[in-house]
Amino acid sequence: MSALLRFVLLVLVSAVALQLAFAARIALMRVIDPQSTTFQRSELRRLAGQNGELQWRQAWRPYERMADSLKRAVITAEDAGFTDHGGVDWEAVEQAWEKNQKAQARVEQAGRITARSASTPAGARAMRPPRIVGGSTITQQLAKNLFLSGERSLARKAQEFLLSFMLEALLSKERILEIYLNNVEWGEGVFGAQAAARHYFRVDAEWLTPLQSARLAVMLPAPKRFEKRPGSAYVSGRAVTIVQRMAAVELP
């Protein structure tokens, strides 16, 4: 057997072993609540390296002890097809890809215009990179937070897809949503629905009102940014829209 063939076989065996390890960890989550996620551990290291006292807020709450309004609000805002898809919403992925391509094209066109007028002060300003639209489902977000780094690459995205399929195959929709709501970030050192409810509204997660739930859901794409202005006009207006749409959401 050639050295190249042995190397290829070793890589394949290692890849399979890694996927089996992931599957085993996910299977255990059917009965064991995950104590932390890869993203949380990364944030903990970052916060620990900063000056001042470390503030970390998180407390697990079972699915039935979180307000139904919060579950509906998060599904409405983050993944309207959560109860129907198998982990990946391919239509949303396609739409995100098209938006990103258009955004990149606009930046490139603006860059060419800037290059032609580089002698002017306005033309000398650096171009801002396009805003990347993800199109990720709740299951994909959970897969990424549980196991993966924040790196953006095709290999990482492919692994995210595989983990999402494993989560859907081994856990119920209810369990996926429960783990997600208990671990998602809602601010600097604020993780999970209970910590968010106490931090922003001084109530437990089971007593959140529909409007409070909607406000928390609005914050999810950029919690550290919205934490600075939780009562902004955008958060308030978007929350009202989510409340209006929540009634049509079917819970797992």
> What is the DSSP secondary-structure string of the chain?
--HHHHHHHHHHHHHHHHHHHHHHHHHHTTTS--S--HHHHHHHHHHHTSSS----B-----GGGS-HHHHHHHHHHH-TTTTTSSS--HHHHHHHHHHHHHHHHHHHHHHHHHHHTTTSTTTTSPPPPPPPP----HHHHHHHHHH--S---HHHHHHHHHHHHHHHHHS-HHHHHHHHHHHSEEETTEESHHHHHHHHHSS-GGG--HHHHHHHHHHTTSHHHHHH-TT-HHHHHHHHHHHHHHTTPPP-
Quick one: 214 and 248 in the same domain? yes
Quick one: 126 and 99 in the same domain? yes
Quick one: 80 and 205 in the same domain? yes
Specify if 229 maps to a domain: yes
Dmax (CA) for the chain in angstroms is 67
Quick one: 81 and 95 in the same domain? no
55, 187 contact by CB (below 8 A): no
Give me the residue label for tokens 């949303």: 92
Specify if 8 maps to a domain: no
> Would you tell me the crossing angle of helices 154-170 and 138-147 to the nearest 10 degrees?
110
Residue range of the domain that includes 200: 58-86+172-252
Quick one: 109 and 65 in the same domain? no
Quick one: 198 and 231 in the same domain? yes
Specify the CATH number for the domain of residue 223.
1.10.3810.10
Specify if 239 maps to a domain: yes
Specify if 16 maps to a domain: no
Quick one: 247 and 218 in the same domain? yes
Q: Encode the chain (252 residues) as per-residue pLDDT tens digits.
A: 688 888 888 889 999 999 999 999 999 999 999 989 999 999 988 888 776 667 788 999 999 999 999 999 999 999 999 999 999 987 877 676 666 666 566 666 666 665 566 554 544 444 455 444 457 999 999 999 999 987 888 889 999 999 999 999 999 999 999 999 999 999 999 999 999 999 999 999 999 999 999 999 999 999 999 999 888 999 999 999 999 999 999 999
Nearest to 106 by CA among 123, 92, 127: 127
Quick one: 78 and 108 in the same domain? no
Specify if 188 maps to a domain: yes
Specify if 42 maps to a domain: no
Quick one: 179 and 249 in the same domain? yes
**What is the count of structural domains for the chain?**
2
d(CA 245, CA 74): 11
d(CA 193, CA 35): 15
Is residue 167 classed exposed, middle or buried when 0-12, 13-18 and 19+ CB atoms within 10 A define those classes?
A: buried
Quick one: 194 and 245 in the same domain? yes
Specify if 21 maps to a domain: no
Specify if 66 maps to a domain: yes
